[in-house]
């Protein structure tokens, strides 16, 4: 059968052609199966073709297609997860809470094994990831099953979902015939924040913390949803194996890494308790900078023959222990609730706290999210903190998880003063006194003042000059605040930036003569502003600071419409939701009804539209041309930038790549085609090397795009 033919002697060209063919055959087969309900291949044939595709991709990772069948999940949604009995039980860990517990753990093991004080006994120490554990079963190198821990004996079958995760290889080369890899599924802070922002935008439920988000995402019945969730995986253990991965814990982890799994870079071999505690301290110090949640350090006996002698108690191994971090919690008094008004008018309540140290950091502010949160409800109306509301004067418990903004975990009702009243959320904007309204389905109350609201106007201007927008050198948040207040040379809307120079000429209080400015810096500022009169469409769209339109959406909109006039006309005509223009707007990848309505609403507002028109009159907006796929060396490829670029800004390099038809991603995965490594590139470059991803330095990148 063709699918069983060897791939060892395929040339790169053959492989490219073959991957295209497999992608087409498998996609037809998928369609026949799911839509026409008339399978054209048997299950065995289908699986064999998928395996062949995966094997070719594993050998030629750079040839993996954006529409690779490996990334397509064929299975239809199921009504519930089937159950899986683990071949080897999934254990939990005992806990150590202080140095003495760790000492006792080590001496207990020495005693158990009958080892002298002087005999060598090494341990590994690694972060305890705050996620959920997953067991991956590979047979003959192919991922056949992924299961959650469940009760340790029986878990849930989440194979389709696991297959969508970039950190989980679906095929392994040179693996034992049977291999169960175990590790933790988790979500990075940045991805968690982004996911919650998207959920809010869609009016869907948000997650309380990255762990819940990871669990909720992995346990989705529809694998298509899991695919869209940014889940990551660290391997740290194994279940059934047909042959040992190594003689020690550390060797085995190295083997897992060589097989293509992510292992935690902070794993270290320790020779004694001192080393272990030193590493614990180091990890604790790094905790806030890791970008994902950890809740302790796990120590494991390194020698596997010792591990097997030590064995298990009822639910925990004798050879491992989790040394937990002290909870990052502290009680303090809530002194006031302030309301901040953002660029889109959102009224955000902020808790002003009597300063308190939480996990080594002094905290005096915490987010209160919105009025429901203060009242003790989440955005679905369910209670949080057991329904306790938050009142000014309350004793509140603050918690920090990594570098995530501090939150209020609890309220001490016993300490509440008798005359404390529930917080009255303002219904007028505290900055401009306009009505602050809450639309149905929106968790947030917003100021309706638009541009007359000084807070909105200043935030909009700051956004306008920010890096991914107009990026005007010498005109940052501080200068914007000052110009906004300036009586002589006011900047109240973006268009005013472009008339500054001429207004200054006629001004009596010339900028050059003011504190903080001089002839040189002013001349530079004019040049910087001048340079931005010519500006690409995507930057303009992003700079307008329209609700829900982030950098990525702005790029997509720019690529779709191509020119400012088309964009403006398209959005204005889309106000009529039965029009072709509305359908066209919704056809843009990543634009949903919420964003589309926000766009049309902005352009339908007289004052906002006039302000945009005044701005555009000063600009030459560059069209975005999406090249034909074959025209550019990076068309259709997923490109990642890392390290410092010297010859162009990261934002510019990104824009160039996108203009050449590439998809720019922030993280390296098996889907990455090309990594551009600038100066000081670190972990991403290492990962790319491990995955065999083509990597170029900045000059190589410039040479590549020069051909385009």
Interacting residues with ligand IVH (CB under 6 A): 91-93, 126, 128-129, 133, 184, 236-237, 298, 317, 320, 322
Phi and psi torsions of 205, nearest 5°: -75, 145
Instruction: Considering the complex, state which of residue 94 and residue 700 has its C-beta at the smaller distance from ligand IVH.
Output: 94
Q: How far is the CB of 252 from ligand IVH (least distance, A)?
A: 12
Give whichever of 184 and 698 is closer to ligand IVH, judged by the CB atom. 184
Least gap, CB of 323 to ligand IVH (angstroms): 11
Token pair 């339908």 in the structure block, residue: 604
Compute the C-alpha angle 45/48/50, nearest 5°.
Answer: 110
Instruction: Kindly state the smallest distance separating residue 690's Cβ from ligand IVH, in Å.
Output: 20
Question: What CA–CA distance (Å, rounded) separates 73 from 224?
Answer: 7
HSE on the CB side for 451, CA within 13 Å? 18
- DSSP letters, 343-388, are TT-BEEEEEEEEEEEETTEEEEEEE--SHHHHHTB-TTS-BSGGG-
Rounded to whole angstroms, the Cα distance separating 349 from 155 reads: 41
Q: Is the dihedral of CA 643, 649, 653, 659 positive or negative?
A: positive
264 or 370: CB nearest ligand IVH? 264
Establish whether 686 is a catalytic residue: no
Buried b (16+ CB within 10 A) or exposed e, 117-131: eeeebbbbbbbbbbb
CA 519 to chain centre: 44
Crossing angle of helices 43-59/12-34, nearest 10°?
A: 150
Smallest distance, Å, CB 668 to ligand IVH? 22
Q: Decide whether 169 or 317 has the Cβ nearer to ligand IVH.
A: 317
Instruction: Give the pair of three-digit tokens for residue 363.
Output: 């905290």
Smallest distance from ligand IVH to CB 317, Å:
5
| Whole-number Å distance between alpha carbons of 459 and 293 | 31
Expressed in angstroms, the distance from the first to the final Cα of the chain is 41
Distance of alpha carbon 185 from alpha carbon 165, whole angstroms: 10
Question: What is the closest distance, in whole angstroms, from the C-beta atom of residue 174 to ligand IVH in the complex?
Answer: 24
List strands edge to edge, sheet with 329-341. Answer: 361-367, 347-358, 329-341, 395-399, 407-411
The SS3 of residue 674 is strand
Cβ closer to ligand IVH: 307 or 466? 307
Complex with ligand IVH: residue 26 or 237, whichever CB lies closer: 237
User: Could you give the angle at the alpha carbon of 396 between the alpha carbons of 390 and 397, nearest 5°?
Assistant: 130
Smallest separation (angstroms) from ligand IVH to the CB of 159: 19
DSSP 61: G
Q: How far is it, in rounded angstroms, from Cα 9 to Cα 2?
A: 14
- Bridging pattern class, strands 154-156 and 663-665: unpaired
Shortest spacing between CB 398 and ligand IVH, in angstroms:
25
In the complex with ligand IVH, which residue's Cβ is closer, 313 or 566? 313
Query: Among all residues, whose Cβ is closest to ligand IVH?
Result: 133
Nearest CB to ligand IVH, comparing residues 325 and 542: 325
Tell me 248's DSSP state: B
Candidates 128, 300, 388, 671; catalytic one: 128
Residue 535 structure tokens: 């500006």
Place of tokens 């004798």: 318
Tell me the closest approach of the beta carbon of residue 245 to ligand IVH, in angstroms. Answer: 14
- Alpha-carbon distance values, 334 to 169, 384, 420 (Å): 48, 18, 12
- How many Å apart are CA 504 and CA 498, to the nearest integer? 11
Six-digit token string for 476:
């940052």
- Please report how close the Cβ of residue 176 comes to ligand IVH at its closest, in angstroms: 19
Looking at the Cβ atoms of 133 and 170, the one nearer to ligand IVH is 133
CB of 101 to ligand IVH, least distance (A): 15
Nearer to ligand IVH, 293 or 394 (CB): 293
**Least distance to ligand IVH from the beta carbon of 214, Å?**
11
d(C-alpha 492, C-alpha 461), whole Å: 8
Compare residues 210 and 643 and give the one whose CB is closer to ligand IVH. 210
Instruction: State the Cα–Cα distance between residues 645 and 497, nearest whole angstrom.
Output: 29
Is residue 189 within 8 Å of 292, Cβ to Cβ? yes
* Non-local CB neighbours of 257 within 8 Å, separated by 6+ positions: 235, 263, 690
What is the C-alpha to C-alpha distance for residues 124 and 267, in angstroms, rounded to an integer?
Answer: 7
The residue among 162, 176, 228 whose CA lies nearest residue 199 is: 228
Residue among 237 and 645 whose Cβ is closer to ligand IVH: 237
**What does the H/E/C string look like for 158-185?**
CHHHHHCCCCCCCECCCCCCEEEEEEEE
Beta strands at 83-85 and 534-536: parallel, antiparallel or unpaired: unpaired
Active-site amino acid positions:
128
């Amino acid at each position: 059968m063709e699918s069983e033919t060897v791939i060892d002697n395929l040339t790169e060209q053959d492989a490219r052609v073959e991957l295209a063919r497999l992608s087409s055959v498998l996609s037809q087969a998928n369609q026949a199966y799911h839509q026409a309900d008339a399978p054209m291949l048997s299950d065995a044939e289908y699986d064999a073709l998928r395996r062949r595709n995966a094997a070719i991709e594993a050998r030629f990772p750079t040839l993996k297609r954006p529409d690779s069948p490996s990334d397509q999940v064929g299975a239809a949604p199921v009504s519930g997860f089937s159950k899986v009995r683990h071949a080897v039980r999934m254990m939990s860990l005992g806990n150590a809470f202080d140095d003495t517990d760790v000492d006792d753990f080590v001496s207990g093991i020495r005693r158990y094994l009958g080892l002298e004080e002087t005999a060598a006994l090494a341990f590994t120490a690694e972060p305890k990831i705050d996620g959920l554990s997953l067991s991956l079963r590979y047979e003959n190198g192919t991922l056949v099953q992924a299961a959650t821990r469940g009760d340790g004996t029986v878990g849930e079958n989440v194979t389709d979902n696991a297959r969508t995760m970039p950190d989980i290889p679906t095929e392994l080369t040179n693996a034992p015939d049977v291999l169960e890899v175990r590790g933790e599924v988790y979500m990075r802070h940045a991805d968690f924040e982004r996911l919650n922002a998207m959920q809010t935008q869609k009016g869907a439920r948000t997650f309380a913390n990255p762990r819940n988000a990871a669990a909720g995402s992995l346990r989705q019945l529809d694998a298509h949803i899991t695919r869209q969730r940014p889940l990551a995986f660290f391997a740290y253990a194994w279940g059934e194996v047909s042959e040992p991965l190594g003689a020690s814990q550390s060797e085995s982890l190295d083997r897992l890494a060589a097989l293509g799994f992510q292992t935690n870079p902070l794993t270290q071999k320790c020779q004694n308790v001192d080393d272990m505690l030193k590493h614990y301290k180091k990890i604790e110090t790094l905790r806030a900078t890791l970008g994902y949640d950890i809740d302790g350090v796990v120590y494991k006996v390194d020698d596997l023959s010792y591990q097997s002698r030590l064995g298990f108690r009822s639910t925990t191994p004798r050879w491992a222990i989790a040394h937990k971090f002290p909870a990052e919690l502290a009680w303090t008094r809530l002194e006031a609730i302030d309301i901040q008004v953002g660029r889109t008018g959102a009224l955000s309540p902020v808790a002003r706290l009597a300063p308190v140290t939480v996990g080594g950091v002094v905290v005096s502010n915490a987010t209160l999210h919105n009025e429901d949160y203060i009242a003790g409800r989440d955005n679905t109306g369910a209670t949080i903190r057991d329904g306790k509301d938050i009142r000014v004067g309350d004793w509140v418990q603050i918690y920090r998880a990594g570098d995530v903004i501090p939150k209020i975990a609890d309220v001490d009702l016993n300490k509440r003063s008798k005359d404390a009243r529930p917080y009255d959320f303002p219904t007028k904007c505290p900055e401009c006194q306009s009505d602050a309204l809450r639309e149905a389905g929106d968790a947030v109350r917003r100021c309706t003042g638009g541009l007359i609201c000084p807070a909105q106007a200043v935030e909009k201007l700051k956004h306008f000059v920010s890096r991914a927008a107009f990026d005007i050198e010498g005109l940052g948040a501080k200068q914007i605040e000052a110009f906004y207040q300036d009586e002589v040379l006011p900047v109240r809307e973006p268009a005013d930036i472009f008339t500054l120079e001429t207004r200054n000429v006629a001004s009596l209080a010339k900028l050059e003569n003011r504190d903080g400015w001089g002839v040189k810096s002013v001349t530079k500022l004019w040049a910087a502003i001048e340079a931005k009169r010519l500006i690409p469409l995507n930057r303009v769209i992003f700079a307008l600071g329209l609700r829900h339109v982030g950098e990525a959406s702005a790029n997509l909109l720019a690529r779709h419409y191509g020119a400012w006039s088309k964009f403006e006309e398209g959005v204005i005509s889309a106000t009529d939701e039965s029009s072709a223009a509305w359908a066209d707007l919704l056809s843009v990848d990543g634009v949903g009804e919420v964003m589309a309505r926000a766009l049309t609403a902005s352009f339908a507002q007289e004052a906002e539209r006039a302000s945009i028109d005044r701005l555009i009159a000063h600009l030459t907006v560059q069209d975005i041309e999406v090249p034909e796929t074959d025209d550019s060396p990076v068309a259709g490829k997923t490109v990642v930038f890392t390290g410092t670029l010297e010859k162009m800004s990261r934002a510019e390099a990104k824009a160039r790549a996108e203009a050449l038809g590439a998809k720019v991603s922030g993280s390296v995965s098996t889907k990455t085609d090309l990594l551009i490594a600038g100066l000081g590139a670190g972990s991403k470059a290492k990962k790319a090397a491990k995955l065999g991803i083509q990597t170029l330095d900045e000059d190589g990148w410039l040479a590549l795009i020069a051909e385009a």
